Amino acid sequence: MVALKDAEDALLVANRHVRNAYFYDQARLFARLIAAHSQPLAQNKQLYICTGGGPGIMEAANRGAYELGAPTVGLNIVLPHEQSGNKYITPSLNFKFHYFALRKMHFMMRAKALVAFPGGFGTLDELFEVITLVQTGKAKALPIVLFGSDYWKRLINFDVLIEEGAISPQDVKLFHYVDEPQEAWDIIRKFYDL
């Protein structure tokens, strides 16, 4: 009976790794679209990939831009037993923060868009901070893209928030669900008329 349970657990972990590999590839492709668009432009017109600087999806995004020779930014957080910046961050653009609030402030000061891939508490914290700041007019409007519509719709039932009066129906227009890198890039391009 223990062997069967161990096999089931191993299968669940293997399936999760397959899903994560898919999102890794998609984040990498998305970053390549941004880098390809930006490279021929004057430096002040370019868009840059900026992540939390860690492994996984963050690494994938930094890697996609890096592979095309574009500089990438990493805003790491100093935590016990946490990662250092991934190897695809431009060394002079790899920053470490002690406080989450300062790190998020630096993200928001420079962000032209937020593309959130499936993640954990840190991703949710950053996503809801951005949505709240845009919703309340405390930050400039920007494209907010949730990559992996099935993940996000299973994770957060915004209809419940509307039904309970916690958010307005128009608040769900602050973000977009997408499943392809090109869809995410098209939303950003349309927003800025690029």
- What does the pLDDT look like over 28-60, one tens digit per residue? 999 999 999 999 999 999 999 999 999 999 999
Q: Among 91, 84, 32, 30, which Cα is nearest to 53's?
A: 84
Place of tokens 């910046």: 85
- What does the pLDDT look like over 150-185, one tens digit per residue? 999 999 999 999 999 999 999 999 999 999 999 999
Q: Evaluate whether 93 touches 72 at the Cβ level (below 8 Å).
A: yes
- What does the pLDDT look like over 128-143, one tens digit per residue? 999 999 999 999 999 9
Confidence class for position 13, pLDDT limits 50, 70, 90: confident
Per-residue pLDDT, 188: 98
Query: In the chain, what are the domains?
Result: 1-110 (3.40.50.450), 113-194 (3.40.50.450)
The CA-CA-CA angle for residues 20, 23, 25, to 5°, reads: 110
Q: Evaluate whether 75 touches 104 at the Cβ level (below 8 Å).
A: no
Whether 5 has a pLDDT exceeding 80, the answer reads: no
What average pLDDT does the chain have?
92
Two structure tokens written together for 112: 């032209």
Specify the DSSP element, H or E, that contains 86.
none
Return the amino acid letter for 59: E
59 vs 2, more confident: 59
Per-residue pLDDT, 26: 98
Whether 2 has a pLDDT exceeding 70, the answer reads: no
| Entry pTM | 0.90
Sheet with 94-97: list strands edge to edge. 49-51, 72-77, 94-97
Sheet with 144-147: list strands edge to edge. 114-116, 144-147, 176-178
Per-residue pLDDT, 4: 65
Per-residue pLDDT, 80: 78
Q: What does 145-170 look like in DSSP terms, one character per residue?
A: EEE-HHHHHHH--HHHHHHTTSS-GG
Residue 92 DSSP symbol: G
Whether 9 has a pLDDT exceeding 80, the answer reads: no
Whether 84 has a pLDDT exceeding 90, the answer reads: no
